[in-house]
Amino acid sequence: MFKGLEHTAIASPDPKKLADWYVDHLEFHINYTYAGNYFVKAANGTMLEIIPSVGERGSNLMKDPGIRHLAIAAEDFDAAHEQLKKQGVQFLGEPFQVEGNRLVFFADGDGNIVHLIHRETPLP
């Protein structure tokens, strides 16, 4: 009956600017817009809906309650990491390895936590 996540929403003070950030940096494309909201879609079909925010941003630390990061899969970790570096992406640390998986955390155009990942073995 339930198929899984259709999209995840991110509230932004400038939804168009953040949508363009995902297009320019992570190869998403804007696939639908309405009333100031932007859906951006990745090559694998996953989507983010970027909506207008209201008010001030709360704390955004790695272990704060709530959704903490978006994981972006990469076929070639080193090439993807290098491309993001050339684009001036703000990294939150150096790449590291956990159980054969390569990761690096960074901030998107609004400061949301994102990480690049290449899994040695896909999850079941």
How far is 30 from 111, CA to CA, in rounded Å?
Answer: 20
72 and 120 belong to one structural domain: yes
44 and 3 belong to one structural domain: yes
Task: Tell me the average pLDDT across 6-20.
Answer: 97
Domains in the chain: how many in total?
2
45 and 83 belong to one structural domain: no
98 and 123 belong to one structural domain: yes
- Give the pLDDT confidence of 19-73 residue by residue, as tens digits: 999 999 999 999 999 999 999 999 999 999 999 999 988 888 889 888 899 999 9
Task: Please give the residue range of the domain that contains residue 7.
Answer: 1-55
40 and 80 belong to one structural domain: no
96 and 118 belong to one structural domain: yes
pTM for the full model? 0.93
**Is 62 domain-assigned?**
no
Q: At residue 87, does pLDDT exceed 90?
A: yes
pLDDT of residue 61: 86
**Is 61 domain-assigned?**
no
